[in-house]
Structure 1
Amino acid sequence: MSLDNCDREPIHVPGHIQSHGALLAFEVSGRLVSRSDNAQQLLGFPLPALGAGLEAPEFAAQPGVVRAIRDFAARDHAASGVAERSELAVGDRIFDLILHFNGHLVVAEFEERQPADREIRPFTTLANGALSLLRAQRSIDDLLRVAVTAIRALTGFDRVMAYRFRHDASGDIVAEDRRADLEPFLHRRYPASDIPAQARRLYVINTLRLIADVGSAPVPVRGIGSEPLDMSWSTLRSVSPIHIEYLGNMGVAASMSVSIVIGGELWGMIACHHLAPLVVPYGKRVACDVLAQLLASNVQTLLAAERAERVEAASTVRGQLVGAFVQTEGMLEALRPFVPALCGLFAAQALVASEGTETLVHGGVSAPAGAELLRWLRANGPPEGLLAVSEQARLPVELSASLGTWCGLLALQMDDSRHDWLVLLRQEQVETVAWGGRPEKVYKAGPHGMRLTPRGSFEVWREIVRGVAVPWSATELEIARGLQAELHRAGGSRRAQVTRARDQMLAVLGHDLRNPLQTITMASQMLARGADGATVGPRITRSSTHMARLVSDLLDLSRLQGGMGLAVSRAPADLAALVRDAAQDLMLGHPGVDVAVEAPATLEVPLDTGRVRQLLDNLLGNARQHGDPGRPIQVKLHEAGGHVRLSVANHAPPIAPASRDRMFDAYKPESLDNSRNPGGLGLGLYIAREIARGHGGTLVYEYRPPCVVFVFTLPRA
């Protein structure tokens, strides 16, 4: 048997049983069609030849056997695997008789009770204390710890472990009770190949499996006809040679497994090991099976509660994020405080997001890799705007090389333009899974190779999962779709509000452009009639300057809304001189306005002089328009901690919360028809903040009684 085809090994029809019991198989009519070679010796009475019926003299001498089999055969046997246990006396010997249907056959298995086990209490009594303890647990880990302790106490195995299987059928040992001198296996992980697919199927349909003596020779089962007996539901079914070798390499002489089945799937397993042969009486095994069924029920309840809790947590984060989105101008600004929560919600190690020309990168993924990923998504994202990938092979070679070990991604398109994306990332499993135990420990290898040793299995698993991340679960995809839908709805609502405000702004713009145009037209007519140019010229200058400012703001707005960003070209400049010039120009243009400047003699900073002057003019203009008349505007410039801070303060009451939340928005209805800013479009603070961002800095609002303060911070270097 090679390892390449062990998944196809027909372990359900081995043609042998284990030596601690005997097997007979009958047609429903009572005709004997199969028997194990040891049946006559183990049962202690003669057996007729194959093909004989229950009326044969040999069976007639054993009325208890005949009655048990005929009574069972007379019942509805539509479902294969339905089993029944009874106690059977043959002379002075006591057997556990386990009967089950297998298609049209009744399979009878006999296990002799040893004298020490003949007074075994009913399994419900045996398991009663453990059942009560299980019901009291409130976490899956605690349930599994209680279960392994109870099963070891009940059966006497040297080691009892609880496996929890993962998405790929690999398993982690999450609880263990063992003999004190044994090496701990807790927290080790084993690959799916250690339990082949056909073995997993049998663990689901036959939830309890005992291997009483790894070293004993299997007993042949003879039958009528060429078809081997299907032993899928047999308790005595012999063991695959590959599995025998695996147990031998671990030093195990006897083992027992109890399946934890949830929703028809093998969720976990209780695995028991013993260093010497051990026959666990059938009654105790049934007690363990009952414990596992209650365990499975409780685990299923806790899993449902965990899912509900996770969905509720996602709903809370989603609601808070959408609320922040509605109150801020940009998605990334709203997203930043929620990045750790989103990564935790999706069990992701990194996050990348884009909005226009801005990119947000969090976690171990590099900024260039994040930018490359976003470019690929913009060009290749699916029409539905949701992409879940967990294998490196599904990504283009260039992108995969850029991302390195980041091979799991869950990408959500945040808008209808296919331009803005939110991406959660996971690393390949080799980077994220801890392996317990002593890596240097070497186990004996057999003819089937190192893969059949615990350590060798892990090494093979490491190669199998290179370039593979833990896939996104159905719950995570459900949460992602809900988040995406909410973001789209919030974005649609925001776009509708922006459209209304933009239409209103354009109406105001048309009105505001008409006035200076009329002034210029009238002034040109007056010049044509010979009016004094010294009188008319300043009118033309003021009107054209007003129009130029409006057009400049609109051009900047167009660049920003189009995702192009503001053109910023930095060079060393004296920011202190720039601040004093801007203050002087404001006072010259508006007699009676006083600007107090506190700044060093010089302060050289790399900046775009024209853009920063635009920012200063906006802040000083706001301070003049909204400050208390007669009170000076205070401008302070200083350097601290590698950053330059410029503050502009004016005496005024604090800005109302509703206006404060929208002050940096492009479209603010309250900025239009503002008596304190006639002819303005309300774009000043919006553009000023983008200028600050273009310099790698920030622009924020503060209130320091009795002053409203705007603080511009940018890097010194």
Structure 2
Amino acid sequence: MAISHSSESPAAPTIAGGAPLDLSACDREPIHIPGAIQPHGLLLIADAEGEHRVLAGAGDLEERLRDDWLGQPLAVLLGQDVAALLNSLPGGPNASVPAPVAGVDERFAVTLHRAGGQLLVELEPIGAEPMTAANALAWIDAVTGSFERAGDKQALFDRAAVAFRALTGFDRVMIYHFLDDDAGCVVAEDRVPELETFLNHHFPASDIPKQARALYVRNRTRTIPLVDYTPAPLRPAGFATSDLSDVAVRHVSPIHLQYLRNMGVGASASISIVKDGLLWGLVACHHRTARLLPPDIRSAAATLASALARQIRAKEEAAAYRERLTLRAMEDKVVPRLNSEEPLRAAVQAVKTELRDMLDADGFALVSRDDVEVIGHCPPAPFLADIVRWVRDRGNEPVATHELSALFAPARDHLAQASGLLALPLHDEDATLVWLRAERIEKIAWAGNPHKATALATNETLTPRASFASFSETVRGRSRRWTLEEIEAAHRLRRRFHEAHQHLQVRLLNRELTRTLREKDALLAQKDVLMKEVNHRVQNSLQLVASFLRLQAKTAGAGPVADHLAEAQARLAAVALVHRRLYRDDQVESVDLSRYIDELVADMRTSLGAEWGRHIRLDLAPILVPTDRAVNIGLILTELVINATKYAYDGGAGPLAVVLEQHGGKLRLIVADEGRGKGTPGATREGFGSRMMTAMVQRLSGTIEYGDNQPGLRAIMTAPIAED
């Protein structure tokens, strides 16, 4: 609720006496079943079967529609064949009625919603001159063209704010972006000069509860034409409260309405910006007086928001591609010098400027056992040695952080030189490459003090904060963040050092040990044979276990025991595949998750049979993940596919989609079927597989959610790509 867009999202409160109130109460507020609507619209609730007779309603139906609405068939009230409209739906829960419905003195745009065994009929008044489809498409096409011509994301955001304000006519329009920690920031704004600005102001994550964010994805546009309204309850009295999640005229949380009043806002609207199925941000609109956002304008705004989301994704991908090209070009300048016959120190000394500039660092150091070689702004050598010892004590693995002092307390005394750290221990040398970034003191502007809230003094009722004066907070101890592309480049550089070290050793041996060349080659060959033998024995052992499981399954015969043994074989296959990948790849620290999943599914196709093999579809984005995380993800995928094959189609085969996506520093694994959906028998069983999968997800610091795939079940596992 930070920027007063049309969410029902109470700000972080306290109770009387200043004691903190449990903020999870905000997440539990049942905003989807308010039992009332906003009075500018009307609502009819009808039986989903038979003649679709009206069971209840809300709003001034007698004065605006007709007196005898209760108990009437929808076809009579709407003047249209409701059954034909429902049969023409493409499978979704909502449908707009093509022709407007005439009321007593006005016309209504009508939208049908399915909600369990009921039909929700939403009626909203139409403006005197609604926007035609041709005009809307022409305008959206022109604006989308201007989005495409924007030079960068900031220019895109600025153009979007202007376009949405021109479309909606609100006094203030903001482009609001959710950050990685679910806090938000206004990245663009267009407003009348009389209003104060919220541009670049931040808002805490608690301002928009979890259930409100979920509704933003489901219901892409929301409007509150008048803040000071009296809600119209469902009638007749005592009617069971219905789920109004899809209803645009749903009554808004009283907490949010008070928030709007505190802000001096008379009307509010929001349009969701959904990128790759996730809520990227909002187009938040404010007006000082009452203002209606008609259905035709909302539809155009939703279409424009989708175009904006596509352009955001395109510009992010283009920026990442350009950064990769730049890093590759700088890498090509460094690598030739590493392949010389110079010792490591001399080679690094020759290219230390390029190494520092490659990752845009303020300082660079090569720390070895006997020496510290630095360039740029670096802390004293003893502190650098302490950092390297700390890195090696953590497992001798690369470390990348933009807040070193939070992980390594002694760094608090050297923030000016070492607030950010990227350290690469070299396994072949007793040395570590260290990139340092200086502290960037950041002043964050908040719309009101995020650490202070108010509450009613009489009881523990949640109330929003009342002050939105600009509050500045200084954040110290942080540097510029290392991008994913920079971290990938550092890993490649580490491999280059490893390769250069190996090449140097080979050249020195060729020159100094010419007489022992044959012996060296024999030793290398023996080593290769040994590795193959080790791999062969491990694979044989795994195959032996798999064979034993198959034999036990046959002995057990059809039934639960055989099923459990088959599941064990599938899990064993996931582990065996990782071992084969490790044996083939040079980089054992990480695995290309898309290749791993592709090969794992190929094995599953073989074990499941040709019928299932034809139905499994893959859409995999290349993501580099640590090997141990790949094992857990492989086991989770195996479990999800096993569940789908067992329950989705009652033992038969059917469509099954496996999708792997990357969103910032997180990955998302989706397994979706088109079968029986959430009601599938056994889909929520707490057996060994489910418990194992839950443990794997927790180990990844991730979450797993199940949703309606319309039809079927959609399982979404979200987790960080790398462990913090």
TM beyond 0.5: yes
Secondary structure class of the residue paired with 1:435: strand
Corresponding residue for residue 77 of structure 2: 62
CA–CA distance in structure 2, aligned partners of residues 498 and 195 of structure 1: 63
Post-superposition CA distance 1:159-195 (Å, at most 9, x none)? 1111233222223322221101222222222232222
CA contact (8 A) 2:172 2:190 kept: yes
CA–CA distance in structure 2, aligned partners of residues 351 and 239 of structure 1: 55
> 1:501: Cα distance to partner?
4.7
Amino acid at match of 1:15: G
Tell me the number of residue pairs that the alignment of Structure 1 and Structure 2 aligns.
486
Post-superposition CA distance 1:336-369 (Å, at most 9, x none)? 212553343xxx6665542442243644766554
After TM superposition, list the pairs within 5 Å mapping 1:32-181 onto structure 2.
32=53, 35-41=56-62, 43-49=64-70, 52=71, 54=73, 61-64=76-79, 66-67=80-81, 69-76=82-89, 78-81=91-94, 86-115=99-128, 123-181=136-194
> 1:475: Cα distance to partner?
4.1
CA–CA distance in structure 1, aligned partners of residues 437 and 515 of structure 2: 41
Secondary structure class of the residue paired with 1:481: helix
Note closer, same or farther for the CA distance 1:438–1:148 as it changes in structure 2 (3 Å cut): closer
Note closer, same or farther for the CA distance 1:216–1:471 as it changes in structure 2 (3 Å cut): farther
Post-superposition CA distance 1:377-407 (Å, at most 9, x none)? 122234xx233456669735x4465566966
Post-superposition CA distance 1:213-246 (Å, at most 9, x none)? 2222333235899863222222112223333333
Secondary structure class of the residue paired with 2:124: strand
> 1:60: Cα distance to partner?
6.3
Q: Does 1:493 align with 2:503?
A: yes
> 1:111: Cα distance to partner?
1.0
Post-superposition CA distance 1:640-698 (Å, at most 9, x none)? xxxxxxxxxxxxxxxxxxxxxxxxxxxxxxxxxxxxxxxxxxxxxxxxxxxxxxxxxxx
CA–CA distance in structure 2, aligned partners of residues 377 and 443 of structure 1: 38
> 1:103: Cα distance to partner?
4.6
Structure 2 length-normalised TM: 0.59
Corresponding residue for residue 444 of structure 2: 435
CA–CA distance in structure 2, aligned partners of residues 118 and 295 of structure 1: 21
Note closer, same or farther for the CA distance 1:225–1:175 as it changes in structure 2 (3 Å cut): same
Equivalent in 379, 393, 404 of residue 393 of structure 2:
379
Over the matched positions of the two proteins, sequence identity in percent amounts to: 29
> 1:440: Cα distance to partner?
10
After TM superposition, list the pairs within 5 Å mapping 1:361-400 onto structure 2.
362-363=376-377, 368-382=382-396, 385-389=397-401, 395=407, 398-399=409-410
Post-superposition CA distance 1:134-180 (Å, at most 9, x none)? 34334222222222112111221111111233222223322221101
Equivalent in 31, 46, 50 of residue 26 of structure 1:
46
CA contact (8 A) 1:415 1:487 kept: no
Q: Does 1:286 align with 2:288?
A: no
Note closer, same or farther for the CA distance 1:240–1:98 as it changes in structure 2 (3 Å cut): same
CA contact (8 A) 2:203 2:450 kept: no
CA–CA distance in structure 1, aligned partners of residues 248 and 209 of structure 2: 19
After TM superposition, list the pairs within 5 Å mapping 1:112-511 onto structure 2.
112-115=125-128, 123-222=136-235, 228-327=241-340, 329=343, 330=345, 331-344=347-360, 351-356=364-369, 357-360=371-374, 362-363=376-377, 368-382=382-396, 385-389=397-401, 395=407, 398-399=409-410, 401=412, 409-417=421-429, 419-425=431-437, 431-436=440-445, 447=456, 453-454=467-468, 474-501=484-511, 503=513
Note closer, same or farther for the CA distance 1:476–1:35 as it changes in structure 2 (3 Å cut): farther
Note closer, same or farther for the CA distance 1:122–1:88 as it changes in structure 2 (3 Å cut): farther
CA contact (8 A) 1:450 1:456 kept: no
Post-superposition CA distance 1:505-524 (Å, at most 9, x none)? 999xxxxxxxxxxxxxxxxx
Secondary structure class of the residue paired with 2:162: helix
CA contact (8 A) 1:332 1:354 kept: no
Corresponding residue for residue 15 of structure 1: 35
Note closer, same or farther for the CA distance 1:120–1:492 as it changes in structure 2 (3 Å cut): closer
Q: Mean Cα displacement is larger for which, 15-24 or 330-339?
A: 330-339
Secondary structure class of the residue paired with 2:321: helix
Post-superposition CA distance 1:396-443 (Å, at most 9, x none)? 5x446556696654432233346423345575xxx5544358999999
CA contact (8 A) 1:369 1:402 kept: no
Amino acid at match of 2:43: L
CA–CA distance in structure 1, aligned partners of residues 239 and 483 of structure 2: 46
CA contact (8 A) 2:405 2:412 kept: no
Structure 1 length-normalised TM: 0.59
CA contact (8 A) 1:176 1:186 kept: yes
Note closer, same or farther for the CA distance 1:137–1:389 as it changes in structure 2 (3 Å cut): closer
Which consecutive residues of structure 2, in runs of 5 or more, have no partner in the other structure? Answer: 1-9, 11-20, 457-461, 518-724
CA–CA distance in structure 1, aligned partners of residues 115 and 214 of structure 2: 16
CA contact (8 A) 1:23 1:107 kept: yes
Note closer, same or farther for the CA distance 1:62–1:440 as it changes in structure 2 (3 Å cut): closer
Amino acid at match of 1:62: L
CA contact (8 A) 1:93 1:112 kept: yes
> 1:321: Cα distance to partner?
1.9
Note closer, same or farther for the CA distance 1:404–1:128 as it changes in structure 2 (3 Å cut): closer
Post-superposition CA distance 1:57-88 (Å, at most 9, x none)? xx565352x53x33332235743356566422
CA–CA distance in structure 2, aligned partners of residues 204 and 214 of structure 1: 23
After TM superposition, list the pairs within 5 Å mapping 1:682-701 onto structure 2.
none
Larger RCO (CA within 8 A; separation ≥ 6): 2
Note closer, same or farther for the CA distance 1:369–1:243 as it changes in structure 2 (3 Å cut): farther
> 1:53: Cα distance to partner?
6.0
CA–CA distance in structure 2, aligned partners of residues 349 and 222 of structure 1: 67
CA–CA distance in structure 2, aligned partners of residues 206 and 366 of structure 1: 56
CA–CA distance in structure 1, aligned partners of residues 56 and 380 of structure 2: 67
Amino acid at match of 1:492: Q
Secondary structure class of the residue paired with 1:129: helix
Post-superposition CA distance 1:313-345 (Å, at most 9, x none)? 12122222222323454253144212553343x
CA contact (8 A) 1:157 1:274 kept: yes
Note closer, same or farther for the CA distance 1:444–1:389 as it changes in structure 2 (3 Å cut): closer
Amino acid at match of 2:491: R
CA–CA distance in structure 2, aligned partners of residues 38 and 265 of structure 1: 34
CA contact (8 A) 1:359 1:371 kept: no
Which consecutive residues of structure 1, in runs of 5 or more, have no partner in the other structure? Answer: 508-717
Secondary structure class of the residue paired with 2:506: helix
Corresponding residue for residue 645 of structure 1: none
Note closer, same or farther for the CA distance 1:440–1:401 as it changes in structure 2 (3 Å cut): closer
CA contact (8 A) 1:415 1:491 kept: no
Post-superposition CA distance 1:258-304 (Å, at most 9, x none)? 12211111223221111112111111111111111111112211111
Amino acid at match of 1:490: A
> 1:110: Cα distance to partner?
0.8
Note closer, same or farther for the CA distance 1:375–1:134 as it changes in structure 2 (3 Å cut): same
Note closer, same or farther for the CA distance 1:77–1:294 as it changes in structure 2 (3 Å cut): closer
CA contact (8 A) 1:165 1:172 kept: yes
Amino acid at match of 1:496: V
Q: Larger C-alpha radius of gyration, 1 or 2? A: 1
CA contact (8 A) 1:83 1:101 kept: no
